[in-house]
Structures are given as C-alpha cells and as structure tokens.
Amino acid sequence: MKQSKVTLGQTALFYATMLAIIWGAHLWNEDKREQDARDNANPDVIVDKYCERLTRDASAFHTQFTHRATGEAKGALFELTKDDCLKIMAEKKAAASSAPAPK
C-alpha cells in the first residue's frame, strides 16, 4: 500500500480553518448574548416574553424569567397576573389585526 503524505501547508490550512470556524462561532455567540441582555433589560420586551409564555404554559416559569430580567423589567413582572397577560396579548392581537396590511 502506498501511503499519502500530508504536507505542512495542508496541515496549516486545516488548523487555520478550524480556528476561523471556532472564532466565528464565539463572536456570534457573544453577539447573541449581548442582544439577549439588551432585550431582557427592556421592560416591554421582557413583559411580552413573559406574557406569551404565561398564556401558553402556566407552569412554574416565573422564577426563570424574573431571574433573567433586570432592573425595571424585573419589577414589572412581579405585578403581572395571568389575567393581566391575557388582556395585554388580546390588545396586541387587536392592534395587529387593525393595522393596515403592507403593500
């Protein structure tokens, strides 16, 4: 059997490609975490997420959301009940259905 040789250039190219893939994934993940942190600090966004989940599944997830929320958003969640969320979601649906259709 003849053994094929891998050159130093091929090895270097392989490792450079792997490092580029890993670095790209790291940057994407970091950007995603920053976006999630910005979203979770915005009271409107966190209340929407909380209400959507509460109306869909009333299991014990309140702690999960309040743990991730920060500052003003965290205070807003403690005051919401399932009925409040149902009202908020109904208002959003009504507003979305009354909005003019894009041309």
pLDDT tens for 33-81 read 888 777 766 777 777 777 777 666 554 455 556 555 555 555 565 566 6
Q: Cα separation of 89 and 55, whole Å?
A: 8
Residue 47's domain comprises 42-96
- How many folded domains does the chain comprise? 1
- Domain assignment present for 63: yes
In a domain, 89, yes or no: yes
Q: Give tens-digit pLDDT for 1-44.
A: 677 888 999 999 999 999 999 999 998 888 888 887 777 667 77
Q: Which of 74, 65, 12, 16 is nearest to 41 (CA)?
A: 74
